[in-house]
Amino acid sequence: MSYNLLFLSTLVSEEFTDTAAIIATALIALLLVIIALFTARKKLNTKEIVYAGVAISASFVLSFIKFAPVQYGGSITLASFVPLIVYCYFFGFVKSLLATLIYGLLQFIQDPYVLTPATFALDYLLAFAAISVAGLFKNNQGMSALKTTLCVCSVYLTRFIMHFISGVIYFNEGMVWANLPANSAIGYSLLYQVVYLIPDMIICLVVMLIINQSGILQKIKPKTN
């Protein structure tokens, strides 16, 4: 791919990123309005909102403690998914969607870079909404080590699928590193995602197993759901 094409693709990406930042801010405002309406109609209670706020804030802060092994993309964080996974496990899949969507939009505003509307939806909306998959493992009887492992792996597998599809689109658009052939988008995307997602998943899983086996998870669990 010529440098002119790369430069043009970068300009297009920057232009869409600016637009997407405005859209993301508007979506956060809309989600907050939806939360207010849900609260008014007693679909969400104060406890659930407080837990969501704490989980989003904690995950967001932890996401700043990171190492980026790949350029223009994902990073290995200090178990940033753990607070939201715990929230999702406590309150279930449906209620978790709002919290995880807000988190995804905050991640975009923190470090905005997208190539197309499709990659914006996949990398920030759907990939982080994947955390709500943990809500499918909700069970008042607690989590075993096996269930904890399945829960975390399911979250990251869903996230991987979203990022992988986005990566294929990204590399097919010609946004590749210098001197690499542009006909292996699937291979590039697979390698790109694995480099940071697997270490991030392992860190998250280890922390989840520790807090679960130590009894911390049961201590912070709401008395009623």
pLDDT tens digits along 134-159:
999 987 667 889 999 999 999 999 99
| pLDDT tens digits for range 196-214 | 999 999 999 999 999 988 8
Identity of the residue numbered 36: A
pLDDT at 35: 64
Q: Please tell me the predicted confidence (pLDDT) of residue 218.
A: 82
Judge whether 22 lies within some domain.
yes
Evaluate whether residue 118 is within a structural domain: yes
Rama region for 181: left / alpha / beta (φ>0; ψ in -120 to 50; rest):
beta
pLDDT at 72 exceeding the cut of 70: no
How many domains does the structure of the chain reveal? 1
Which two tokens mark 5? 């094409």
| 105/98 Cα distance (integer angstroms) | 11
Q: Which domain holds residue 131?
A: 3-220
CATH code where residue 145 lies:
1.10.1760.20
pTM: 0.82
The answer, yes or no, to whether residue 178 has pLDDT greater than 60, is no
> In which residue are the tokens 């094409």 written?
5
Instruction: Evaluate whether residue 225 is within a structural domain.
Output: no
Answer whether residue 152 is part of any domain: yes
What pLDDT does residue 142 have? 72
